[in-house]
Amino acid sequence: MSPELLFALLLAAAGQAAQSGTVSGVVVDSSSGEPVADARIEALAGERIAGRVFSGPNGRFTLLLAPGRYSLLARRIGYDVRRIEGVEVSSGQTAELRVVLVARPVLVSAEVVTASRTQEAALEAPASVSVVVPEEAAHRIALTAVDHLKAVPGIDIVSSGLTQHNVVARGFNNAGSGQLLTLTDYRYASVPALRINAYNFIPLLDKDIDRIEVVRGPGAALYGPNTTAGVLHLITRSPFESQGTSVAVAVGERDLFQIAARHAGIIGGRLGWKLSGQYFRARDWEYVDPVEQQNRLTALARGADPSSLLIGKRDFGIERAFGEARVEWRPDGKTALTGNFGINQAIKNIDITGFGAAQVRNWRYTYYQLRLERDALFAQVFLNTSDAGETYLLRTGIPVSDRSRLLVAQVHHESRLGSRHHLTYGFDYQRTDPRTGGTIYGRYEDQDITDELGGYLHAESRISKLRLVGAIRADYHSRVKSPVISPRLGVVAEPGAGQTVRFTYNRAFSTPTTYDFFLDLLVDSLREPFTGSALPFAVRALGVPKEGMAFRRDCPGGLANLCMYSPFTPASLGGSGQPLPADATVLWDVLLDTLRRRDPNIPAIPKPAPGEVRSVLRILNTGTRTFDPLDPASLGDVAPLEHRITNTLELGYKGMLSNRALAAVDLYYSWIRGFLAQGVATPNVFFDPVTLGSYLSRFMPSSQAIQLVGIIGSIPVATVSPEHSGSQTDILVVTRNFGRVSYWGADLSVALQPTGYTQLSATYSWASKSLFRNVGGISDIALNAPQHKIGFSAAYANRRTGLSAELKGRYVDAFPVISGVFEGRVEAYLVVDAAFSYTAPFAKGLTLSLDVRNLLDNRHREFVNVPEIGRLAVARARFEF
C-alpha cells in the first residue's frame, strides 16, 4: 500500500462524523471534592467503545456521541474505576454528569496498551509488565527517558556518558544496542537502518511523558521482528488532557545547562495542538582510548596533519537541541486523527559502537507520523530519517555517512465476539532504505533496500476466572529466504481479587540488521608487536551476501588445500589478488628480503624444502588485538544469514498482598537458536614457530634464531579469505548465526504504599549465566549483563504541601563483556541517587527540584572502554501557567 493511498484512507475515515449529542461533566475526588484531571472517560455501546476523552485541568470533559443509550466508564491512575449506566444521549442535546472517583493505591491502578496491543489493566496483562506513571516521575530531573527506568526489574542499563545509554531487558546488551523494541506513541524510535536505540536522539520532553510501559519477554506475535527481549513504550500526553504552558531551566555540575518549554492548547473544542522543545549542553565524563591514541601516533608518524587528523580527536562536550509538534483532531467522540513531527539535532557527543567510539557531530534525527484511531480501528504511517552530519569513528577517523530512511505503515483492528471473546488483528509493512554514500555500506550501497511485511491474529477468551490467550504471526523479509512464524500461547488465572497467575509460551525473532547484510567498513589496522610498524592487513567489517561466503579449498598444498591471499605477493606471482596454497614458505624469499632490508645482519637463508617449516592458522581476537590458534578443520564457510529465534516459557504471579502491597514474581526459561553475533571469519597464515626455529638454527646461533623466530612468527603472512569477498587480504569481521544458547532467569519485585504519601519498592533479577562458552564451536557469547542485580527505592509525595522526595539505588554484579571490539570485565558497583522537589505556595506554578546522581560518588564503569561515572548534581526550576 502506498503512503499516499494510506493517507487518503485515513483522512476519508476521519471525515465521517455523524450528527451527535453531547455528554458533558466534571470529574471530582470523593474525599476532597477537588477536580480530577487526566481521567479517561469512555462511552460504551454494549461492549463497544463509542467514544473516549480525557478530563481537562479543571476536571471538565465533553463527549460527542451518536444518539442512544450508553454506559460511562471513568478511569484514572490512583482511583477505582467508576461505571455509570443508562446515560441517555439525544441529538442536539447535552447530558450533564458529575463523576465522583474514589482514591485507590497507585500500585494497582495502572493500565497498559503494549502487552496485548489493546487497553487492559497491568495486573491482568498476559505478560511481565511494569509501568512508570507520572506520579513516580514527577520529582525526577531526567536527562533522557532512561533515567526513569533504573528501578524497573529485569532492565539492564549501560551508561557511557551523561545522556548515552544502551538498554535491554533480561540481558544481551551491546555497544549500540537495538535489542529492545522501543516505541514512542506506537512509532519505532530507533535510528533507521542502523537500528540503534539512541535515547538521546529521541525528541521527547520529560514533561510530555504520560507513562512508560515496559513489557519483558518476547513480543513478536504482536509486534513482529526484533522483539525478542520485549517492548519499551514511551506514551506522551495529548494536548486535550494537558493544556497550558511549561518552562523549565536546569543547571548542574559539569557545566550542565538545560532549558525546555512546552505549550498545549485547544481550538474550538475539537482541535488540539502542542509545541515543545529543549536545548541541552554539558561536559561529559572523560576517557582516553589507548587504541585510538596508538592509531593516532601511527598516523602522525606517517605524516598526517595533526590539526585535521580525526583519529583519537575527542570532544567531551555534549550539546543537543530538539523540537516536537503535535496536532490532534477529534471530530466526534470516537475518532482521533493525530499528526506528529519531531526533530533532534545531536550537535556533539561521544557514543559507543561495535567498532569503538564515535564522535557525533550534527547528527539529525527526524520523524513524521500520522495516526488514526476510530472505534476499534488503529492505523498509522510514519517516516523516520537520519543524517549523521560530520560524525566519524574515533579509532580510524573514517566519516560516518548515514542518511537512511524507514517507512512504516500499520493497520490494526479489534473485534469482540460477545462479552467473553476478543480478537485483535492487523498487518505491518516497513521499508528500510540505507543511504551512506558508500562510507558504511560501500560496495553494497546500490543493493541495500529491505522490505518486511507481517500479519497477525491475537485472540483472548474468558472462561470463568481463566483467560486463554493465543496468537499467531507470519513475517516476510526480502533478504531472508523463508518466512518466519511466531506463535503465542498462554493462560491467565485469577485465583482471587487482585491476584493473577499466568503461564505463557512465546516465540520471537530478530532479523539481521542492515549492518549484518550490507556493512563494508574499515574498522582497524594492525601493527607489528615488536617494532610497532604498521602491517599491510586491514580489519574490515563486511556484510554477508544473500548466498553466504565460501572458502576456496582447491589450492594444492598444506592446511587441507585452503587458499590464501597475501599483500606480500609480488607481481611476478600475480599480486595480492592471486590465490596461493596456504603455506607460508611460498613467500619465503619475499619475506626474508624484506627483513634483510631492515636488518642487514640477517644472513641469506635458503627456502625450506616442503615440510621442513610448517604453517599454522591463527585468528584475530578483536578484544585483545592478538591472534589465537585455530584448527584448520574447524574453519567453516560463512552461511547465509537467518533470523535469530528466541523461545521463552514463563511462569508469573502478580497480586496484592494487602490493600497497600503489591508483589510480582516472573520465572522464565529461554532458548535461542541462530544467535547473531559478529566475529572474525578469516584466519591468517603464520609460520609455525617450532619448526621455524629448528630450521633457522642450522644457519645461525640459537640465540639469534630465537630472536628471529619472535619477529617472523608474530607477523601474519597471508589471509585465508572467502571467494568474491572483494577484500582478499583484509581480515573480515562478519555476522554469523551461532548454535543454541539457553538460560534461566527470574525477576522479583515488591512495592509497598504504607500511606497515601509514601511508597517503598525493591527488585531483584537473576540470570543463570553471564557467559556462554564456545557456542556452536565458534565463539564465546556474553550476556553483557550481570547475573545478579538489585534495585530499591523510597519515595514521598504530598500534593498538599507540594513536597516530594525519592531515594533509590541499584547494585550491579560484575560481568564479562564481549561486544564487537569491546572485550573485558565490568566490576560490580552500587549507585545511590536522590531527588527532591518542592512546589512553592508563594509562587503559583513554580516547582523547584534537586537531583543528585551517584550520591556517594562511587566512580565506576558500566561497560568496557567507557568513562568512569561519578557524582552529578542538577537543580531545576519549572514554571507552569
Strand duo 230-236 + 120-121: pairing: unpaired
What is the CB neighbour count within 10 angstroms for residue 736? Answer: 22
Distance CA 84, CA 714 (A): 81
Listed residue (115, 105, 17) closest to 66, CA to CA: 17
Integer angstrom CA distances of residue 244 from 205, 271, 645, 876: 15, 15, 47, 19
Q: What are 797-837's pLDDT values in tens digits? A: 887 788 999 999 999 999 999 988 899 999 999 999 999 99
Output the CA torsion sign for 44, 45, 46, 47: negative
Which pLDDT value is given to residue 105? 57
Residue with the bigger pLDDT between 789 and 109: it is: 789
CA angle 684, 686, 690 (to 5 degrees): 150
Which pLDDT value is given to residue 190? 93
| pLDDT (mean) for 844-873 | 95
Contact indicator for 35, 25 with CB cutoff of 8 Å: no
Which pLDDT value is given to residue 529? 67
Residue 211 has pLDDT above 50, yes or no: yes
Q: What are 670-683's pLDDT values in tens digits? A: 999 987 777 899 99
Listed residue (23, 140, 35, 47) closest to 79, CA to CA: 35
**Element holding 593 (H helix, E strand):** helix 588-598
3-state secondary structure of 604: coil
Q: How confident is the model at residue 530 (pLDDT cuts 50, 70, 90)?
A: low
Lowest mean per-residue pLDDT among 102-116, 579-593, 719-733: 102-116
Contact indicator for 413, 377 with CB cutoff of 8 Å: yes
Which pLDDT value is given to residue 13? 42
Listed residue (98, 79, 109, 103) closest to 31, CA to CA: 103
Q: How confident is the model at residue 6 (pLDDT cuts 50, 70, 90)?
A: very low
Strands (E), 710-828: 718-719, 731-752, 758-767, 771-775, 779-782, 788-798, 803-812, 815-819, 822-826
Which pLDDT value is given to residue 802? 85
Residues found in the chain: 881
| pLDDT (mean) for 829-858 | 92
What is the CB neighbour count within 10 angstroms for residue 94? Answer: 12
Contact indicator for 94, 21 with CB cutoff of 8 Å: yes
Integer angstrom CA distances of residue 704 from 115, 132, 316, 530, 710: 70, 69, 48, 15, 10
Q: What are 439-475's pLDDT values in tens digits? A: 788 888 888 999 999 999 999 999 988 999 999 999 9
Which pLDDT value is given to residue 766? 97
Distance CA 527, CA 531 (A): 8
Q: How confident is the model at residue 841 (pLDDT cuts 50, 70, 90)?
A: confident
Which pLDDT value is given to residue 106? 54
Which pLDDT value is given to residue 7? 46
Residue 776: is it exposed, middle or buried by C-beta count within 10 angstroms (0-12/13-18/19+)? middle
Question: What percentage of the chain has pLDDT greater than the value 90?
Answer: 57
Distance CA 184, CA 199 (A): 11
Distance CA 788, CA 798 (A): 34
| pLDDT (mean) for 844-859 | 94
User: Cell numbers of 205, please?
Assistant: 520532553
Which pLDDT value is given to residue 107? 54
User: Cell numbers of 433, please?
Assistant: 532504505
Contact indicator for 282, 254 with CB cutoff of 8 Å: yes
Return the bridge partners of 666, or none. Answer: 652, 747
Lowest mean per-residue pLDDT among 195-209, 525-539, 783-797: 525-539
User: Cell numbers of 804, please?
Assistant: 516530594
Half-sphere exposure in the Cβ direction for 58 (13 Å, CA): 6
3-state secondary structure of 134: helix
- N- to C-terminal Cα separation, the chain: 44
Distance CA 129, CA 126 (A): 9
Output the CA torsion sign for 227, 643, 635, 564: negative
Q: What are 47-106's pLDDT values in tens digits? A: 677 887 878 778 888 888 889 899 898 887 667 788 898 899 988 888 899 999 887 655
Q: What are 139-183's pLDDT values in tens digits? A: 789 999 999 998 899 999 999 999 999 999 999 998 888 889 999
Q: How confident is the model at residue 15 (pLDDT cuts 50, 70, 90)?
A: very low
Residue 387 has pLDDT above 50, yes or no: yes
Q: What are 328-367's pLDDT values in tens digits? A: 999 987 899 999 999 999 999 999 998 899 999 999 999 9
Q: What are 701-715's pLDDT values in tens digits? A: 888 888 888 888 888
Which pLDDT value is given to residue 109? 52
3-state secondary structure of 292: helix
Q: How confident is the model at residue 108 (pLDDT cuts 50, 70, 90)?
A: low
Average pLDDT across the chain, whole number = 89
Rg of the chain in Å (alpha carbons) = 30
Residue with the bigger pLDDT between 654 and 656: it is: 654
Q: What are 683-693's pLDDT values in tens digits? A: 999 999 999 99
Q: What are 759-780's pLDDT values in tens digits? A: 999 999 999 999 999 887 777 8
